[in-house]
Structure 1
Amino acid sequence: MFENLREDWQTYGRDLSRQGFWVMCVFRFGQWRYRVKPAPLRKLFSFIYRVWRTLIQIMTGIELHCETRIGRRLLIEHFGGIIISGDTVIGDDVVIRQGVTIGLRHTGLRGAPIIGNRVDIGAGAKLLGPIHIGDDAVIGANAVVLTDVPAGALAVGVPAVIKPRRAQSESSPADLSA
């Protein structure tokens, strides 16, 4: 837990005012409490976790359950309106912005997104259902992603259309003025 917290601290630029860091602290504590062996102590920590999680949800507008499997260095860039299902799997170095929903497509049906490494999720994006988002993919702002996104691709629109990403060096000033 402490190694992950140290890494989270660095990810958030050692800035205690970043609400994403608060959420990650409570998340890491929530996962750690499962490893506590004496049942009475684990129950006490579970109660503390539930109180902290509720306070953090109210203060930040970020809902992140401790059952979610998260890799290293998750960066919640902006706070507010973020919901992440407990069934979701998130890889390393993922960036999430405000208004993002990652979760189930239909109530009562299992299956949440599996997000690869180095994925950039734009503001207001919705990733729903048992989909796979490949490594280095970019999800555009307000995109509604209902299908798999291959590695390195761009998903934009409602419903999202998958497009290949151009390398930054390929775009020229003429492309930008058009």
Structure 2
Amino acid sequence: MFDNIRNDLAAHGNDPFQQGFWVLVVYRFGRWRYRIKPRVIRIPFSLLYKILFKLIQILCGVELPCEAIIGRNFRIDHFGAIVISGYTTFGENCVIRQGVTIGLKDVAHPVAPSIGNNVDIGAGAKILGDITIGNNVDIGANAVVLTDVPDNSIAVGVPARILPKKERS
């Protein structure tokens, strides 16, 4: 847990006052409490997690349940109006911004997106359904992504158009 928190702090510019960092500390705590095996000992930690989770929702406007799986160096660049489904998985080095929703397309089919490494998600983007976002992908601001996005691509628009990234010379 503490290695991940150190990485999260570094991803937030070593600034412990960034609200995105606070969200990740509560998230990491929520994941850690599952390691406590005797249920009777875990119960007070679970109660503390639920209180902290609600406090983070109110103060930061971010819903990141500990059931979601996120990799190292995850960064919440701007906080507020961020909702991430507990069914979502993230790779490493991902960035999200305000107004992002990542979740279910249909409540009857509880599968959320699987997001690769080095994914940069713009403000207001919506990523929904049983889809895969590849590695090294940029999701444009306010894009609505409902289909798979291959590696090294950009997704822009409503609904999102998938474009290959141009190589820098």
Verify same fold: TM over 0.5.
yes
User: Shift in Å at residue 167 of structure 1?
Assistant: 2.3
After superposition, the C-alpha distances for 1:8-32 in whole angstroms (9 at most, x for unaligned) are 1111111121111000000000000
Q: Which residue of 2 aligns with 1:122?
A: 122
- Residue 72 of structure 2 aligns with which residue? 72
Which runs of 5 or more residues in structure 1 are unaligned?
170-178
1:131 corresponds in structure 2 to: 131
Structure 1 counterpart of 2:85, one-letter code: S
User: By how many angstroms is 1:38 displaced?
Assistant: 2.5
Q: Distance in 2 between matches of 1:121 and 1:168?
A: 20
Aligned-residue identity in percent: 57
Matches within 5 A, 1:15-54: 15-54=15-54
In the alignment, the residues of structure 2 paired with residue 129 and residue 64 of structure 1 have an alpha-carbon distance, to the nearest angstrom, of 17
Q: Which AA in structure 1 matches 2:111? A: G
Within-5 A mapping of 1:1-178: 1-169=1-169
Aligned residues: 169
Task: State the one-letter code of the partner of 1:31.
Answer: R
CA drift at 1:53:
0.2
Q: TM-score, normalised by structure 2?
A: 0.98
Q: Alpha-carbon deviation of 1:37?
A: 2.2
Instruction: Give the drift of 1:108.
Output: 2.3
| Separation in 1, partners of 2:101, 2:165 | 23
For residue 17 of structure 2, give the secondary structure of its aligned residue in structure 1: coil
Deviations 1:95-130 (A, max 9, x none): 101100000001221211000000010000000000
Q: Secondary structure at the match of 1:99?
A: coil
Report which of the two has the higher share of helix.
1
Query: For 2:98 and 2:108, how far apart are their aligned partners in 1?
Result: 26
Shift of 1:168: 3.4
Q: Which has the larger radius of gyration?
A: 1
Runs of 4+ in 1 over 4 A off after TM superposition: none
Q: What is the rounded CA distance, in whole Å, between the counterparts of 1:37 and 1:132 in structure 2?
A: 33
SS at match of 2:141: coil
Stretches of structure 2 that go unaligned for 5 or more consecutive residues are: none
